[in-house]
């Protein structure tokens, strides 16, 4: 029966049901139900990178940073371009002030899903922390544009940073 169920795709369907239950529970701020549902999805479909990444995201939200890192690492073993896993690892590195590692992870996340303004924003911030304010300006402008396209209030925050970057760039001595 198990082989027939796999051939019919039943575990995939059940896993996806659990996955959507996890997302719904998380949106309702029921983290324990979200974690339970994503664990059930992973029992049914353990080789699905996105599920591991979401499990890591939930662990990170719960401030279980070592668990989050392990989940993200597993997701990236399964799919090196899993966006959420790269973004999550970037956030962990950013939190630890590991600017270059954060920039690398955000760049990978951007390669996976180039339309996400949050990734552009944090890529800009890591470039700023690395002292590359010209690059930071470019990424922040792209983030502001994407936030504006989605009528997101974070667009204003981007423009505040862009003004700061302009000041920093103008204060740098000219290189010949």
The residue assigned the tokens 């997701």 is: 75
Read off the pTM. 0.86
Q: What integer pLDDT is reported at residue 174 of this predicted model?
A: 65
Q: So where are the chain's domains?
A: 10-98, 115-171
Q: What integer pLDDT is reported at residue 9 of this predicted model?
A: 57
Chain-centroid distance of CA 119 in Å reads 7
Return d(Cα 62, Cα 35) in angstroms, integer. Answer: 10
* Contact present, 54 and 84 (Cβ < 8 Å): yes
User: CB-based contacts of 60: which residues, under 8 Å, 6+ apart?
Assistant: 68, 88, 91, 92
161-174 tens-digit pLDDT:
999 999 999 998 76
Band (13; pLDDT cuts 50, 70, 90): confident
Q: Which CATH number fits domain 10-98: 1.25.40.10, 3.30.70.930, 3.20.20.80, 1.10.260.40?
A: 1.25.40.10
27-48 tens-digit pLDDT:
999 999 999 999 999 999 999 9
97-117 tens-digit pLDDT:
999 999 999 999 999 999 899
């Amino acid at each position: 029966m198990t082989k027939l169920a796999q051939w019919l795709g039943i575990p995939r369907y059940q896993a996806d049901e659990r996955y959507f239950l996890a997302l719904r529970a998380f949106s309702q701020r029921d983290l324990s139900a979200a974690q339970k549902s994503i664990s059930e999805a992973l029992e049914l479909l353990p080789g699905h990178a996105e599920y591991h990444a979401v499990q890591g995201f939930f662990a990170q939200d719960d401030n279980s940073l070592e668990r989050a890192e392990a989940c993200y690492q597993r997701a990236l073993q399964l799919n090196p371009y899993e966006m959420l896993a790269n973004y999550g690892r970037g956030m962990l590195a950013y939190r630890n002030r590991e600017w270059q590692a954060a920039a690398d992870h955000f760049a990978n996340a951007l390669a996976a899903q180039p339309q996400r303004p949050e990734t552009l924003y944090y890529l800009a911030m890591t470039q700023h922390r690395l002292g590359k304010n010209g690059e930071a300006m470019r990424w922040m402008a792209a983030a502001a544009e994407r936030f504006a396209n989605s009528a997101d209030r974070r667009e204003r925050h981007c423009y505040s940073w862009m003004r700061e970057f302009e000041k920093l760039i103008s204060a740098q001595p000219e290189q010949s």
